[in-house]
Amino acid sequence: MTCNVLLSSAGRRVALMESFRAALARTGLGGKIVATDASRASAAFHAADVGVVVPRCTTGKFIPAMLEVCAAYDISLVVPTIDTELSVLAAHRAAFAAIGVTVAVSDPETVAIGADKVLTHAWLVEHGLPTVRQADPEVVRRASDAWAYPLVVKPIRGSASIGVVVVDDALSLDVATRAGDCIVQTVAPGEEYTVDVFVDALGRVREAVPRRRLEVRGGEVSKGMTERIDDVESLARELGGLLPGAFGALNVQLFRDPTSGSLAVIEVNARFGGGYPLAEAAGAIFPQWLVEHASGVPLSPVSAAWRAGVVMLRYDDAVFVDASGAGL
Ligand SMILES: Nc1ncnc2c1ncn2[C@@H]1O[C@H](COP(=O)(O)OP(=O)(O)O)[C@@H](O)[C@H]1O
Ligand SMILES: [Mg+2]
């Protein structure tokens, strides 16, 4: 039995790709890694066994092209990596299933909750999960007494920290919200954690690995450390179990105030987080569970012993190719 894996919008996700490669070897399933991207000028495209250019996920040609790649390379598992492709892949899971392909994505409802920060907040509040206060900029302007600065402004459908700003007064709030489609939040106190959560096909949370953000570069964690911190872990587990039709790797961002112990979830991403390689280095095996699931074999047991105190120090690496190879 082989399990060919397609990493979608592969971009710079070479480390995640290597985790899938290692999982295929470890399980003895074997199989190739195919990377798709909108351009050949991507590192993971060249690190894969096969790279295929497909139309952007925002076009109607994306799904037919992906189905074609799956058929051509006998793919068993598709792994999405970027926010913008989640909803379209979630909506078309049945078409992939019809040709024997598992897409490692949650139900459209959970993808929608993660993609839209108004929906995220409403969902968190509805389920009694701790979060920050949040409102539409207009509401904040009208009830200025109820909102103490500094405040955080961010786009409703943002990602990679693009457009996230801290504002110190009403004037800055006006400037920051001028473009529209954004929300205002109170600043969450304390330290920021990202939790990699794995949910199985029956909606049961198998593992949650908290890692503390030590340093961020370009919206992505560049230094982090796994930490065994029970309240953070159990909150992420509860959240993963409540998300409707969640499946596979999720990424929950929250703050924890070390003095009061208060927690505040600020974001849910229904996909592998950019910093997942740290959880893997600490003993998590999410890619292995996905290839096992896609191959119809029982999932390997949970490693209760993922290691706390594992530090990730990221650095730049590069793939060198001919200009023609990069499509330039
Ligand atoms: N309410 C908040 N309080 C403190 N920091 C925040 C808050 N909201 C966002 N941030 C900071 O901004 C980063 C990006 O915000 P996030 O909600 O994750 O949006 P994105 O979808 O762009 O990743 C977070 O990782 C965090 O460091
Ligand atoms: Mg985020």
Say yes or no: CB of residue 121 within 6 Å of ligand 1.
no
d(CA 155, CA 177): 9
Residue 75 identity (one-letter amino acid): I
Predicted pLDDT at 219: 83
What's the distance, CA 252 to chain centroid? 8
Q: Nearest to residue 5, comparing CAs of 288, 224, 320, 328?
A: 288
Are 77 and 291 in contact by the 8 Å Cβ rule? The answer is: yes
The pLDDT of residue 304 is above 70: no
The pLDDT of residue 179 is above 80: yes
Per residue in 185-221, pLDDT (tens digit) is 999 999 999 999 999 999 999 999 999 999 999 888 8
d(CA 289, CA 44): 21
User: Average pLDDT, whole number, for the chain?
Assistant: 96
Bond into 137 cis (ω within 30):
no
pLDDT > 90: percent of the chain: 95
Segment 24-51 mean pLDDT: 97
d(CA 320, CA 160): 26
What's the distance, CA 184 to chain centroid? 22
Predicted pLDDT at 46: 96
d(CA 193, CA 45): 30
DSSP single-letter state for residue 89:
H
DSSP single-letter state for residue 306:
P
Segment 83-92 mean pLDDT: 98
Among 151, 156, 164, 214, the mutation site with the greatest number of ligand 1 atoms within 8 A of its Cβ is 164
* Residues having C-beta closer than 5 Å to ion ligand 2: 267
d(CA 281, CA 6): 22
Element (H, E) at 11: none
The pLDDT of residue 105 is above 70: yes
d(CA 264, CA 255): 5
Predicted confidence band of residue 308 (pLDDT cuts 50, 70, 90): very high
Say yes or no: CB of residue 253 within 6 Å of ligand 1.
yes
Predicted pLDDT at 28: 96
Predicted pLDDT at 162: 92
Residue 255 Cα, ligand 2 centroid: separation in angstroms?
Answer: 12
Segment 39-55 mean pLDDT: 97
d(CA 152, CA 163): 10
What's the distance, CA 266 to chain centroid? 14
Query: Cα dist. 74→99, 100, 133 in Å?
Result: 9, 9, 47
Say yes or no: CB of residue 185 within 6 Å of ligand 1.
yes
Per residue in 247-263, pLDDT (tens digit) is 999 999 999 999 999 99
CA dihedral for 152, 116, 182, 130, sign (positive or negative): negative
Crossing angle of helices 108-115/83-91, nearest 10°? 160
Predicted confidence band of residue 72 (pLDDT cuts 50, 70, 90): very high
The pLDDT of residue 12 is above 70: yes
Say yes or no: CB of residue 269 within 6 Å of ligand 1.
no
User: What percentage of the chain's residues is helix, strand, coil (to nearest 5)?
Assistant: 35, 25, 40
Strands 248-256 and 191-199, by their bridges, are antiparallel
Residues 129-160, buried b or exposed e (16+ Cβ, 10 A)? bbbbebbebeebeeeeeebeeebbbbebebbe
Per residue in 117-171, pLDDT (tens digit) is 999 999 999 999 999 999 999 999 999 899 999 999 999 999 889 999 999 999 9
The 3-state DSSP class for residue 8 equals coil
Q: How many residues does the chain have?
A: 328
Atom from ligand 1 closest to the CA of residue 194: 25
Residue 148 Cα, ligand 1 centroid: separation in angstroms?
Answer: 18
The two counts, helices (H) then strands (E), for the chain are 12, 15
d(CA 66, CA 96): 9
Segment 273-297 mean pLDDT: 97
Say yes or no: CB of residue 188 within 6 Å of ligand 1.
yes
Predicted confidence band of residue 1 (pLDDT cuts 50, 70, 90): confident
Segment 72-84 mean pLDDT: 97
Say yes or no: CB of residue 85 within 6 Å of ligand 1.
no
Per residue in 190-199, pLDDT (tens digit) is 999 999 999 9
